[in-house]
Each structure stands twice: as C-alpha cells, then as structure tokens.
Structure 1
C-alpha cells in the first residue's frame, strides 16, 4: 500500500503542471466566450436598430433574446477537448516511461514487491484527472452562469429557462446520480481498455502486438454491441433493471480488462 501511494503521488506530480495549464486555458476560453457572446448579441441588436431604424422591442423580436444555454457552445467544444486530453493522457502515462530518455519504466519494473502497484497508481492518476476535470467543468459552468447574469442587460435576457445548460451539456453534466454513475463507469472502462491495449503492444511488440491490439479492440466493440443490442431488445425488464444490468456489463468488462492487464504486466513485460 505504501508503494502504491508513493507511486500515485509521483505520477500526479509528473503531470500536475501540464494539467493545470490545460485547465486554466480551458477555463479562460469558456468564461471569456460567455462575455464575448453577450457582447456580440448586444452589438447585433444595436446594428439592427441603426440599419433598420427599429425600436429595441422590434430588434429583440427579430433577433431574439439570449439565455445562458445559447452561450455554452464553447463549453461543449472544451468538454470534447477535455475528453481527448484524458484519452491521450491514458496513453502518455505509459509510453512516456518507455520512450523517455531515462527509460523510467525499467526503474519501476525493478522495484521490489508486486507490479500491481505500478498499474493501479497509473490508473488512479488518470481516474483523478478525469474526475477532477468533470468537477472543475461543472464549477466553470456555474461560474459562467453568474458571469452571464452579470454581463447581460435585463432587457436582452430571456425571462424563462435562464441559466439552463444546453441539451448536450445537460446529458453530460447532470445532477441525476444514475447518469453520473454511467458517465464515470463508461469513462473508467475506456481507460481500462486503453491500458490493456498499451500493455498488449508493449508485451508482444511490432506486428504481433498490433494484431493482438486489433483483436482486443474487436472484442470490445463486439461485446459493447451485443450488450447494447440485448438491452434494446429486452422489453420485459424495467428501466431501473436495465440500468443495473448495464452497470453489470460494464463491470464485467472492467474486471476482464484489469485481469488481462495485470497478467501481462506480471508475466509478459520484462526489463
């Protein structure tokens, strides 16, 4: 346990600066975009009034009022970038140890004790990055709503559905506990798959490794398709029962991916 905690702390410290830079850049783009879109909306209304000699009510009727959901397009884009960042980080956290000048992976593999701590320290680091990103993005959405209320004039703001996220954001950043569990579980399952693919490629190398990666990817896609098809075609189960069954399917694959990854790390990865 002590070795696991030390390795996890080391993994977090090695990636902390990059993570902070990414988060700050994303936050700046998202929050500035809210104010910028409010200003552009007001500018459009003023230009319409000048060009058409219209009153404010006529301009608002033609162009429409603005609500917070209309200004969150950049949040969706940044969320997708964040997902890509987590996926890249899941690959990078392994390959930087092999491809770096110091060949840090050899130091890790030669540590006394079981290699399980190496695997779970990296998995924990990626998981913490993912969870913290979701939490911070939720905070940015909340701050953005207050910033929207502060920057927009009352007459330009919709009186209903104010500060509601866009539909795509509501699906991802939901207060529904079941949906949040689904998001976290599916994300963790994908991370486990990435770890398994990396260890397969590192275990066999070259053509044989790529073939095994392709086979494992096919197994994952086939498993996902069969599970989703079964849930879609099963009409005898209640919605809550389908949710529980879906979570069970995710756990089954996660256990399989963890089991295979740990076996590869123990028996196939050599110094």
Structure 2
C-alpha cells in the first residue's frame, strides 16, 4: 500500500504545473466573465434609466430583475471554455501518462517496471491519479463559485437581483448538472462512463505497447466493438414507438454495460501490464 500511495503521488506531482495552470486559467477566465458581464448589465441599466427616466422599481417592472443565474447563462463561454480546456488537458494526459514513460534516451519505464511492487499497482496508480485530478478540478470549481457570486453581489445592487443560493445554481446551471449530478444514478452514469472510458484508453495503449502495430490495429477494433455495444440502448431510445423502457431503465442499461466493459477492459489491461508490456 505504501508503494501504491507513492506511485499515485508521483503521478500527480508530475502533472502539478499544468494542473496549477488550469486552476489559474479557470479563475481568471470565469472571474473576468462575471466582472465584464455584470459591468455591461449595469451600464445598460443606467443608460436605459437615464434615457427613459425610470426609477429602480419601474426598471424592474419593465425589464425584470437580474440574477447570478442569468449572468451565468449570458457568459456561458467564459465558464464553459476553461472547463472544456481542463477536460481536454486531462484527456490528453490520459494518453500521455503512459507514453511519456518511453520518452527520452533514458526511458523511465525501465525503472518503473523494476520497482519491487506488483505491476498492477502501476496501472492502478495511474488510473487513481486521473480520477483524483478530475475530482480535484470539480472541487475547485465548486470552491470558486461562491467567490464569483460575491463579485456579482458586489457589482449588482441587491434591489436589482434575485436572491439565489449556490445550491440552486448548481442544480439549475447545465454544466454544473453534469459536473455534480443531482442523484446517485446520474452520478454513477456520468462518472462511471468517464472511468470506463479512461480504462478503455489505457487498454488500447497497452495493446499497442505490447504488440506494436498489431496491437494498435487490435486496439482500434476493440474501440469499434465497444462503441457498437454501448450504442445498443441508444438504438432503443431512438425508436420510442417500439421502446418499452423508461429513460431511467435505459440509463441503468448503459451503466451496467459500462460496468461490464470497464471490468473486462481493466482485467485485460492488468494482464497486459503483468505479462506483455516490455521495454
């Protein structure tokens, strides 16, 4: 267990500079979005009040009140762009986390495979590191959200905005619904599919590292077969006239398929790491 923890720490520490950069980009981009959109709203509000000679009460009656949710919807690009960038960076790192071991003249894979621990710990450490990085980014987004709302409350007078709690924002803003699902089934479906996807990517990479060109072709075929299997419930959903399943049942089918495929892919990946990956 001690060596496993050290391997996880090593994987995360090798990514920390880019990880910190993603944090900074997220804070600056979303903070700028809140600031500029709130200022634009106040400028438009002041201009309309001066032009039409409206009081605050008359302005609200005519144009309606504002809310932090409205601002999030108006600045979706500012909020979604850093989230998408972080997701893309982690997706690339899911591939790079294996291939970097073979890079350079003094390939690190030699030392990694010689560590006196079960090879499965290498695989599990990389998988654990990816999931911890994902949850870390989600947690960071939830931490800075109240700070962004404080900026909004500071710039928009309370008489012009509707009160809305952070919990309500998380439950209603679409990107946050994906990051923090409202129920256990949705959580397992979203993050279960994400974990399965990472495991599948690991398996394809290990096939290529084990058998080179033949492994690469086998990996592509593996992806094709899995993709077709995962689409089976969606084919049922596409034809609702002949479907006797509720959406929750279809989601459960996807979750079960993801679990089976994830376990199969994990077993294959662990087998390749133990018996086939060489340097």
**Category of TM-score, reference length = shorter chain:** 0.7 to 0.9
| Helix, strand or coil at the partner of 1:164 | helix
Structure 2: state its 5+ residue gaps: none
Q: Secondary structure at the match of 1:269?
A: coil
* Structure 1 runs not aligned, ≥5 long: none
Which residue of the partner structure matches residue 85 of structure 2? 81
Distance of aligned partners of 1:3 and 1:44 in 2 relative to their CA distance in 1, 3 Å threshold: same
Q: How many residues align?
A: 268
Structure 2 CA distance, aligned partners of 1:159 and 1:120?
A: 45
Q: Does the 8 A contact of 2:233 with 2:253 survive in 1?
A: no
Would you say the 8 A contact 1:127–1:188 is kept in 2? yes
Q: CA deviation at 1:175?
A: 3.8
The residue aligned with 2:185 is: 178
1:192 equivalent in structure 2: 199
Shift, 1:136, TM fit = 1.5
What corresponds to 1:264 in structure 2?
A: 272
Say if 2:94 and 2:130, in contact at 8 Å, map to a contact too: yes
Does 1:164 find its partner at 2:169? yes
Equivalent-residue separation in structure 2 for 1:89 and 1:20 (angstroms): 14
Q: 2:265 aligned with 1:235, yes or no? A: no
Distance 1:24 1:238, change over 3 A: closer
- Secondary structure in 2 aligned to 1:66? coil
CA distance in structure 1 between the aligned counterparts of 2:123 and 2:79, rounded to whole angstroms? 32
Deviation at 1:212, TM superposition (A): 1.8
> Offset of 1:157 from its aligned partner?
1.9
Q: 1:225 aligns with which of 215, 231, 234?
A: 231
Distance 1:10 1:236 in 2: 46
Q: Evaluate the alpha carbon distance shift between residue 229 and residue 142 of structure 1 in structure 2; reply closer, same or farther with a 3 A threshold.
A: farther
Distance 2:124 2:272 in 1: 14
Matched, 1:139 2:154: no
Match of 1:55 in 2: 54
CA distance in 2, matches of 1:22, 1:151: 26
Scaled by the length of structure 1, the TM-score of the pair is: 0.85
TM-score normalised according to structure 2 size: 0.83
Query: What is the distance in 2 between the residues matched to 1:237 and 1:47?
Result: 51
RMSD: 2.8
- CA deviations on 1:122-149 (whole Å, 9 max, x unpaired) are 1111110011111211222233233322
- The 1-side partners of 2:90 and 2:164 are apart by 36
Other-structure match for 2:257? 249
Other-structure match for 1:214: 220
Q: CA deviation at 1:62?
A: 6.6
- Contact 1:31 1:140 (8 Å CA) reproduced: no
Structure 1 residue ranges, 4+ long, deviating more than 3 angstroms after superposition: 47-50, 56-65, 158-163, 227-234, 236-239, 241-246
